[in-house]
Structure 1
């Protein structure tokens, strides 16, 4: 069993698991199960739940006890009993079954529409009767109230067969349709709906045999290739809601009282819709084309989940009132899926509710793991053609199954040394080794100086043997070196990037890192160009190239130095600004704690009453009422000014500076003017100094 999660919805693939060949003996089968734990743990919901080649249709009987499936090749029908969880019987037919219906509560009455225009009636004991219709049939539906079997196909007529009287009734002829692909009957008001190949949905009243209305699904926005649109599937939800599947991969939801759809869902695969089912619990719709099954909300069209098995799908069956889904497909095994969010498991497999969360196996293999499929030409190349007809080869389709051990032995004898396989194998091993070496294992990084440890690991992986030997690195992992033990273990050696020393050296470190990366990329480009270019015909001028390299190197180094100096100055300015802001903050905090009676400082006074404070060492002025204290402070300040703030009962009081401060400012300005008058410039001093003469000795 395999579990997948799509859109947070768990989907359990019950048909996944290794398959065993059908031709092996029971003893060999038990040995394989004993040797392989995956074979023992696999879940077979129903034994032999498959067809020889292809499964074409699948249905569950109304009582839920039997599962009917049709397939090929040869054309056949199989019945599975859920009580025994195994196949009950198998019946082969002359032609492939296009559609089949279950008329009774169990398997005792069935109708099969075949692709050779025959309709077969089956009873409990076998085939009961067969009758032929004028045209090739494509779909059919049974109306139990009138005992009418309605068949549609490659014509504009609906053939009606009365099963009670055993005769054909008058056909319903459509004037709009050319060929009819699908039909469905509403069980509430008995309205028959047919979908044609030219995009029309027509409603019929079975009592009068007349057409009651026509809906055109040929919407121009849905047609992209200009070939037209055809109706491939019809399905009623209730008395009014109808779902129409088209050949362009759209599902149109109609209220039959309106000719326009109220919602259009696109599968985005441009493949014909093959099946539509309504899930009443949750108000969901399951729509299927040959590639994918999608579950989505009916009102909003929001996707719930999807199932894409990888093989072409033919038919869909959702077990009523459960989350179990069967799908017929172009492969021998019939697909089984369990979606717990849609509902519980049926009663006959209630163990799925507990097993789905415990057992999860890998995906199913495309072929048998213990056997190799070979064609006749491949047998000739290996020299195994003489084994045809023996027990060592098993004929299958256009080739043979051979034991994998025999195949490997024969191939080693015929091709003792296959250079291409050996070369591809070695290349693959080398790539895997390089990927494993270059991968940094984050889970082994220390807690102290994690970034530095990661940088060391990346540098060590890029070193070659000579570089590691030069660095005296014995092990491949530098973190295991004893010299760096305390650096990655002791928290006292933790690098703090917020300190002033680290910020001053950071421009230099970043510049070195940039140079190293640029050097590595330049070396890689030179290696690539060296392999692509041809050898030069003339030797280059080594002396000229050396001078040019020195000039370029000196210019590059000078530019780098100037850039580094600029970055360092920028960091210095940032640090000075931060220190200045910190000093200002400390000064402001001190000012808020100064005595409010001191002049020249900003204070904040809050109105109200102050309770009397009694005790030892308390100032007598503080026990006075607040109004008296404010009057005294105003007399002491003299020319103080008050500003009423907009915040309510708060005010800010400040006083002007004293006259002595003004006199000090005037004296400072006078002193500055005197120094400026006696200042002399040194601009002309350099021109008068004689420079030494540079000449030959």
Structure 2
């Protein structure tokens, strides 16, 4: 459930596609699984089960009792019947050809009439297709006169008697036979085009009946005229002409005194039957043919007019002619239906899913989904703070700092709230600029600084924790610092073939081995740890450059052993580099063998031994006295023992 059109007249999208092109089934299922735990999708719900078609929907209607919704679509050609009591699909049925439009002849779904695009009329019942009949020419629309049980089918082309008029076929359902068609002026056709007409043949596009009032029938034609017939006298009673473009939509008001028509150029006109001049004339703005016109009433008894073309749905105020609200779905619209006595709209569209919109200002939710009213109330409570999007909250000291304290209680620009005021954003910006003329320069410098720090942060190498060889992983990641993008899953770290190198203990690098120290002479290695967790050996590596020296000292062992390898430091001070021979001579005297100098390799081993501390000798009393120790003045002899 999403707020599609925030403002004075909010519009909520209950169901419908969010993309202009339907996604493949496998991708839709994957996205549904990935968004299962998304906080934005936790409150989503499916109002009607399987309220969709494989490709597109053509028409949708709601039964008079409000318990059933029937919709037709493709592909393959079929129609669905949904039960509003169960909020689920009751059944679906395939047809031989695609459906153009249909009517519900009963108060529920049990009797329906379907106009197919193969010049056939099909009567359907819950058991299946009850009867099928063919039309002489292609039909454009359906209308039903309930008092005389007559079905009206506006058709394309001229009549067969050579009169040069179009026809509206009449089918008497009580007697089960066709009646004499009504003749409608649709202009002349090209000679030799045949009964079906040419490509630009004239046609009767749409029909409507003032069912609950005077019962007049109105027919819109391709030459921009509207003809009115009285079913009681079976004759024409009036003609309304002079419209630009074809008449593509008609609808009588509930009182039967006004008629709304839409043209193929996107024009909407409202007429009073007692006056040939339009009450108001509006342009839909898209330049597309009007598909639907519906007269509506709000709970406050305000009269509204709904108009829809392929792109957008607009609701107008009949009294003033101003635009009340609009709805622009992501897909093309084919038909719009209104749930009686509610604020819910259903659409048949080119998308896979059908749209369901809810306008609280137009009426309450239908009784079969009354819970939507509570959900809308909760959403309005949560989003009530959006009312102050153009305001800035300031306390009284902040108002005085901006020299706005004198406006308290004198203007609507300051709205009291709790311990401060909501100030219009435009006034706040102007006052802040007057108080500090350099505010924009400071803001610009601040944004530049944030952008630079953000770019610096992106250069920091990522950190990846592994079970084994953490130093090797850090070394690999450190090489990526020079790249524009740091990817912790790239290279060796992201290759499954090298996964055991960082997971299996068998592949752990032994930093104490001779091979590792030979290949990494500059690597600092820690020795074994004692019981206190401190290393007992210190390795110190050196290089020619003192700035690159590394000195790692954990602690000295308890027995006094210190192992050092150093050529640049001695007792914390600098010393001159000497040769290996000089170092050996300085460390201990070396006796040369009698046979001359040693030639070749020589292996020297040693075992470090701790220095034995000599036991101090007990000082004699005489020596202690001579050292100036204090003599005892006590006469107790035992104190001297």
**TM-score, length of structure 1 as denominator length:** 0.50
The aligned residue for residue 370 of structure 1 is none
Aligned match of 2:621 = none
Per the alignment, residue 342 of structure 1 pairs with 362
| Partner SS for 1:154 | coil
What is the deviation of 1:38?
Answer: 4.3
Q: Is the 8 A contact 2:104 2:111 kept in 1?
A: yes
Q: 1:455 to 1:33 in 2, by over 3 A?
A: closer
C-alpha distance in structure 1 between counterparts of 2:448 and 2:297, whole Å: 61
Q: Is 1:3 aligned to 2:3, yes or no?
A: yes
Aligned to 1:129: 131
| SS of aligned partner of 2:270 | strand
Note the C-alpha offset of 1:239: 2.3
Aligned partners of 2:314, 2:27: CA distance in 1, in Å? 40
In 2, the alpha carbon distance for the partners of 1:17 and 1:358 equals: 24
User: Are residue 173 (structure 1) and residue 183 (structure 2) matched?
Assistant: yes
1:248-647 equivalence runs, <5 A = 248-281=265-298, 282-358=302-378, 451=437, 455-456=441-442, 458=444
- How many residues were matched structurally? 374
Q: How many angstroms does 1:208 deviate by?
A: 2.7
Per-residue CA shift, 1:211-255, capped at 9, x if unaligned? 11111033xxxx5xxxxx111111110222111111111111112
CA contact (8 A) 1:2 1:16 kept: no
1:247 and 2:281 correspond = no
Q: Distance in 1 between matches of 2:23 and 2:73?
A: 19
Any idea what SS the aligned residue of 1:88 has? Answer: strand
Match of 1:213 in 2: 238
For residues 358-383 of structure 1, give each alpha carbon's deviation from its aligned partner in whole angstroms, at most 9, with x where no partner exists: 459xxxxxxxxxxxxxxxxxxxxxxx
Partner SS, residue 171 of structure 1: strand
1:159 corresponding residue in structure 2? 169
Shift of 1:36: 3.8
Q: Is contact 1:182–1:194 with CA below 8 Å preserved after alignment?
A: yes
- The more displaced of 31-40 and 139-148 is 31-40
- In structure 1, C-alpha distance between the alignment counterparts of 2:432 and 2:272, rounded to whole Å: 66
**Contact 1:7–1:305 (CA<8 Å) still a contact in 2?**
no
1:462, distance to aligned residue in structure 2 (A):
6.8
The structural deviation recorded for 1:31 is 6.0
Q: Find the aligned partners of 1:240 and 1:27 in 2 and give their Cα distance.
A: 51
- Secondary structure in structure 1 of the residue aligned to 2:227: strand
2:474 matched to which residue of 1? none
1:385 aligns to what?
none
Decide which of 168, 182, 193 is 2:206's aligned counterpart: 182
Q: Are 1:13 and 2:36 an aligned pair? A: no
- Correspondent of 1:101 among 100, 103, 114: 103
Map of 1:203 onto structure 2 = 228
Q: Which residue is equivalent to 2:87? A: 85
Deviation of 1:337 after TM superposition, in Å, equals: 0.7
SS in 2 for 1:217: coil
**Cα distance in 1, alignment partners of residues 204 and 89 from structure 2:** 35
Look up the SS of the partner of 1:341 in the other structure: helix
Could you tell me how far 1:356 is from its partner in structure 2? 2.4
TM-score between both structures, scaled by the size of structure 2: 0.54
Change (3 A) 1:8 1:167: same
Cα deviations by residue, 1:494-519 (Å, 9 ceiling, x for unpaired) = xxxxxxxxxxxxxxxxxxxxxxxxxx
Q: Give the direction of change, closer, same or farther, for the CA distance of 1:462–1:54 in structure 2 (3 Å limit).
A: closer
Q: Distance in 1 between matches of 2:128 and 2:84?
A: 20
Mapped partners of 1:333, 1:58: distance in 2: 12
Structure 1 alignment gaps of length 5 or more: 224-228, 361-441, 466-697
Q: Distance in 1 between matches of 2:287 and 2:226?
A: 20
* Aligned 8 A contact 1:17 1:42 in 2: no
User: What per-residue deviation string (whole Å, max 9, x for no partner) do you get for residues 15-66 of structure 1?
Assistant: 2588998967999999657544444421211111111100110000000011
3-state SS in 1 of match to 2:374: helix
Could you tell me how far apart the structure 2 residues matched to 1:356 and 1:463 are?
43
Does the 8 Å CA contact 1:59/1:68 hold for their aligned counterparts?
Answer: yes
Q: Deviation per CA, 1:314-347: give whole Å up to 9, x if none.
A: 1001111111111111111101111100001111
Q: Residue by residue, what CA displacement relative to the aligned partner does 1:495-550 show, whole Å, maximum 9, x if unpaired?
A: xxxxxxxxxxxxxxxxxxxxxxxxxxxxxxxxxxxxxxxxxxxxxxxxxxxxxxxx
Contact 1:6 1:306 in 2 (8 A): no
Measured at CA, do residues 147 and 51 of structure 1 come closer, stay the same or move farther in structure 2, by a change above 3 Å? same
Q: Partners of 2:443 and 2:39 in 1: how far apart?
A: 40
Deviation at 1:272, TM superposition (A): 0.7
Equivalence for 2:140 = 138
Per-residue deviation, residues 430-471 of structure 1 (Å, max 9, x unmatched): xxxxxxxxxxxx99x999985556645545777999xxxxxx
Displacement after TM superposition at 1:277 (Å): 0.4
Confirm or deny: 8 A CA contact 1:7 1:304 kept in the other structure: no
CA distance in 1 between counterparts of 2:266 and 2:32 reads 46
Q: What CA distance in whole angstroms lies between the structure 2 residues aligned with 1:311 and 1:184?
A: 27
In structure 2, what is the equivalent of residue 50 of structure 1? 52
Corresponding residue of 1:236: 252
Partner of 2:217: 192
How big is each residue's C-alpha offset from its partner over 1:128-152, in whole Å with a ceiling of 9 and x where there is no partner? 0100010100001011111111111
| Secondary structure at the counterpart of residue 142 of structure 2 | strand
Q: How does 1:60-71 map to 2 (within 5 A)?
A: 60-71=62-73
In structure 2, the gaps of 5 or more residues are 158-165, 188-201, 381-427, 452-641
CA pair 67-447 structure 1, distance change in 2 beyond 3 A: same
Q: How many Å separate the matches in 1 of 2:356 and 2:342?
A: 13
What is the SS of the residue equivalent to 2:207?
strand
| Cα distance per residue 1:570-629 (max 9 Å; x no partner) | xxxxxxxxxxxxxxxxxxxxxxxxxxxxxxxxxxxxxxxxxxxxxxxxxxxxxxxxxxxx
SS state at 2:80 partner: strand
Shift of 1:257: 2.6
Q: Could you tell me which residue of structure 2 aligns to residue 512 of structure 1?
A: none
Contact 1:193 1:204 in 2 (8 A): yes
What is the CA–CA distance in structure 2 between the aligned matches of 1:27 and 1:54, rounded to whole Å? Answer: 19
CA contact (8 A) 1:231 1:245 kept: yes
C-alpha spacing 1:26/1:134, structure 2 compared with 1 (3 Å): closer
**SS of aligned partner of 2:362:** coil
Q: Secondary structure at the match of 1:137?
A: coil
What is the SS of the residue equivalent to 1:295? strand
* Cα distance in structure 1, aligned partners of 2:250 and 2:18: 37
